[in-house]
Amino acid sequence: MKKFFLSLALAICSFVSARAIEPFLEFQPIQAGGGFTAFNVQGGITGKVHPNIRLGAGLGITERWNFETSPLIPIFVRGQLEGRLGSLNPFFSFDVGYEINTEDTSWGAVLVNPMVGLKFDKWHFGIGYLGHCWTPENAGTTSTFNMKLGYSF
């Protein structure tokens, strides 16, 4: 599964032209729900494949606020739709990937993170849903609310 996501990320990067690439850095101060509370810092690149569509990939680190466990390392691909409504610049993004558990690598989670938000010049803010499907069979799922503040370079 990890090789698939890395291969997909490389394919997306090679598809996007060099002048359209935009690096980003994001902070998620809140991931909360189902007894799970954490924060996340992540970065990556996106590139325009259409005037309103971006594709990209990223990598991050997720840690519980009480630091009681080792961090998770999310690796993801992103699709993003951008628009303009009057003076507002809304966006919808969809991340899918895998979170590596650094404490026990036999555990991990497939992640899905749809999000809606607004862009303000180079800054963006969004809210969304973060779903984890833990990889050992019958390990369950985690559904959380998340908030994101980001900057595009």
Query: Which tens digit of pLDDT belongs to each residue from 6-53?
Result: 676 566 556 555 557 899 999 999 888 877 788 999 999 999 999 999
Share of the chain above pLDDT 90, in %: 58
pLDDT at 118 over 90: yes
For residue 107, the model assigns a pLDDT of 83
For residue 35, the model assigns a pLDDT of 75
Q: Where are the alpha helices (DSSP H) in the chain?
A: 2-15
pTM listed for this prediction: 0.84
Burial of 111 (0-12, 13-18, 19+ CB in 10 A): buried
